[in-house]
């Protein structure tokens, strides 16, 4: 057996992170194409990444003869998997970049944004520093400590990056695919840059803290502050779980993470804790996309397209709502308003659900039926394994004359996806609120499967050390508590936070008695609970020792 056959045999026999023999050795279930998937592994030299472009727009047109692997590449953190897979198959000597570089490109500067493509460029230009990070992408990418630095440098120096996006900025995707095929046919054939493939262990996250399971509620003022708390709770309490069967994509996961943002329209980025820092331009680009009914070329879907151009196959059925006798008793009556949010396209039509919500709330601001869906049951039965939307439902509701919005995600990448999603949802909320001439209120995002992927663990640890600081909060929207000692008893009054009127009252002879009464009656945050406990203990000591008790003042014990 020659050297080529020997190394191919070693590649096939290595054990990947899914505990299965063969190659790729990382994130195999997310790789769109790899040589050997439908036949024998071969010593192909080229890897192709088409970034954010939908795989079905690229893969069928790529020449597979010298192609080792081809896949999307969404976030800078994906570099970890890329490094592992190339070190696991050192026959790869070229990487070709083509495709959309950003999920919402309109208005975004792809030369300066912290995109996956720019991270790839920075890696091959600068390598990694003494902290095993890429300069300019310190918070976005962390190279596992088990991968030796010399191996990473050897890969950088022996694999050539060919950037078709920068070389042909005016070419459309079809022309770039043609250029990629020409290159794969003409590039110099090179031997493996290692004598044998290499695989490495993985860093493990700290153990999760126990909790009762089910919903965790995180509440804060702005999107950045809420996200910091989300990361803390998932990293600390998330259960170790797999994203799918037959995968190596381990996550820390909370089932039903409920994020409540009280000032979601606040665009202040002076606190910018995100792994890939957000910019006003990037936020605006995403908000523009999520409010647009247009489906960009090369994308399977956008939330804007699903919400504002919801496909319905029977235009006639919608038209019948205007005139058919059986529909005459509609809540708002029959008339042109019924299909004001419908665009007819022959026998089919598209429904603007966001505009529909506005039209309903104009007529009935107390409606509880203002739902928007992205989930097409017939489609998802066939396609849910690769391109089903994660955001599945929105509901708008007017409370205290303000427009509250609740969003439901079936599955949610909380480290990278949540921040942009939150700003996008805030834009939807503002759009609806403006449409009914109301102020935006609370934004609630329910993430059924709220995940932090394992390749974000170290970045999250570093972020929390830097940004999560203790802030003493002395106001509670649920009310304040006045503690007094009267006539041989401890008396606790619950005061309305706005009017300061007494809304509830308890009395008892000791702290334990009052603790049970108050905890049975109220929802009080942990910090407030501990404060009340401290004051109750002081009051009880004062009562037993016949001392003067004053709330928030030191108890003078002789």
Q: Give the model confidence (pLDDT) of 455-514 as tens digits.
A: 899 899 999 999 998 877 777 888 888 999 998 999 999 999 889 999 999 999 888 888
Task: Give the total residue count for the chain.
Answer: 558
The pTM of the full predicted model, rounded to 2 decimals, is 0.83
The phi and psi torsions of 402 (rounded to 5 degrees) equal -120, 150
- As a whole-number percent, the residues of the chain with pLDDT over 90 amount to 65
Q: How many beta carbons lie within 10 A of that of residue 515, not counting itself?
A: 17
Alpha carbon distance 132, 117 (integer Å): 19
> In sequence order, what are the residues at sequence separation of 6 or more whose Cβ sits closer than 8 angstroms to the Cβ of residue 474?
none
Q: What is the 3-state secondary structure (H, E, C) of 173-218?
A: HHHHHHHHHHHHHHCCCCCCCCCCCCCCCCCCCCCCCCCCCCCEEE
- For residue 15, the 8-state DSSP code is B
Is the pLDDT confidence value at 109 over 80?
Answer: no
Alpha carbon distance 50, 36 (integer Å): 20
Terminus-to-terminus CA distance in the chain, angstroms?
91
Question: Domain 216-298+390-467 is in which class?
Answer: alpha beta
Q: What pLDDT sits at residue 324?
A: 78
Q: What pLDDT sits at residue 134?
A: 94
Return the higher-pLDDT residue of 307 and 108: 307
Is the pLDDT confidence value at 448 over 50?
Answer: yes
Instruction: Decide: 416 and 77 in contact? Cβ < 8 Å.
Output: yes
Over residues 294-303, the mean pLDDT reads 85
Q: What pLDDT sits at residue 382?
A: 66
Q: What pLDDT sits at residue 1?
A: 44
Q: How many beta carbons lie within 10 A of that of residue 343, not counting itself?
A: 14
Q: What pLDDT sits at residue 369?
A: 94
Over residues 131-136, the mean pLDDT reads 90
Closest by CA position to 407, among listed 429, 387, 386, 385: 429
Alpha carbon distance 530, 283 (integer Å): 39
Confidence class for position 111, pLDDT limits 50, 70, 90: low
Mean pLDDT across the chain: 90
Which pair of structure tokens corresponds to residue 363? 């007529």
SS3 state at 313: coil
Q: What pLDDT sits at residue 40?
A: 80
Return the higher-pLDDT residue of 388 and 108: 388
Domain boundaries, the chain: 3-186, 216-298+390-467, 480-544
């Amino acid at each position: 057996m020659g050297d080529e056959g020997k190394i191919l045999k070693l590649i096939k026999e290595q054990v990947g992170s899914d505990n299965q023999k063969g190659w790729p050795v990382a994130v195999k279930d997310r790789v769109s194409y790899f040589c050997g998937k439908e036949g024998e592994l071969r010593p192909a030299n080229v890897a192709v990444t088409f970034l954010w472009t939908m795989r079905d727009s690229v893969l069928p047109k790529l020449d597979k003869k010298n192609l080792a692997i081809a896949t999307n590449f969404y976030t800078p953190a994906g570099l970890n998997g890329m490094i592992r897979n190339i070190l696991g198959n050192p026959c790869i000597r070229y990487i070709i970049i083509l495709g959309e570089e950003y999920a919402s490109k309109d208005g975004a500067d792809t030369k300066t944004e912290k995109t996956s493509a720019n991270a790839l460029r920075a890696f091959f230009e600068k390598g990694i520093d003494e902290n095993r990070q890429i300069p300019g992408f310190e918070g976005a990418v962390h190279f596992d400590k088990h991968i030796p630095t010399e191996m990473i440098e050897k890969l950088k120096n022996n694999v050539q990056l060919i950037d078709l996006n920068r070389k042909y900025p005016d070419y459309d995707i079809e022309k770039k695919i043609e250029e990629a095929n020409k290159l794969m046919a003409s590039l110099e054939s090179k031997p493996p840059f290692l004598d044998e493939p290499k695989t490495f262990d993985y860093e493990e996250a700290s153990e999760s803290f126990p909790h009762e399971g089910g919903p965790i509620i995180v509440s804060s003022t702005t999107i950045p502050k809420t996200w910091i708390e989300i990361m803390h709770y998932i990293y600390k309490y998330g259960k170790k779980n797999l994203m799918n069967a037959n995968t190596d994509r381990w996550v820390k996961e909370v089932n039903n993470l409920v994020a409540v943002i009280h000032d979601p329209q606040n665009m202040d980025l002076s606190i910018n804790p995100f792994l890939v820092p957000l910019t006003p331009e990037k936020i605006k680009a995403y908000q523009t996309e999520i409010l647009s009914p247009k489906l960009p070329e090369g994308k399977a879907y956008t939330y804007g397209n699903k919400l504002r151009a919801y496909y319905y196959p029977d235009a006639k059925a919608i038209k019948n709502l205007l005139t058919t006798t059986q529909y005459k008793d509609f809540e708002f009556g029959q008339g042109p308003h019924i299909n004001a949010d419908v665009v007819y396209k022959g026998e089919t039509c598209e429904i603007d659900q966001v505009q529909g919500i506005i039209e309903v709330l104009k007529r009935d601001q107390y409606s509880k039926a203002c739902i928007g869906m992205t989930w097409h049951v017939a489609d998802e039965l066939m396609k849910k394994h690769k391109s089903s939307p994660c955001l599945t439902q929105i509901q708008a509701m007017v409370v205290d004359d303000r427009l509250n919005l609740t969003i439901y995600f079936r599955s949610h990448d909380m480290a990278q996806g949540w921040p942009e999603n939150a700003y996008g949802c805030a834009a939807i909320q503002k759009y609806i609120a403006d449409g009914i001439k109301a102020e935006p209120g609370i934004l609630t995002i329910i993430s059924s499967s709220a995940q932090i992927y394992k390749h974000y663990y170290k970045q999250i640890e570093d972020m929390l050390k830097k940004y999560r600081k203790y802030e003493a909060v002395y106001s509670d929207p649920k009310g304040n508590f006045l503690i007094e000692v009267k006539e041989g008893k401890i008396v606790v009054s619950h005061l309305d936070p706005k009017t300061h009127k007494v809304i509830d009252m308890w009395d008892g002879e000791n702290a334990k008695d009052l603790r049970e009464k108050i905890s049975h009656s109220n929802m009080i945050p942990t910090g407030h609970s501990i404060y009340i406990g401290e004051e109750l203990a002081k009051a009880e000591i004062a009562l037993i020792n016949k001392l003067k008790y004053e709330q928030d003042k030191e108890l003078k014990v002789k």
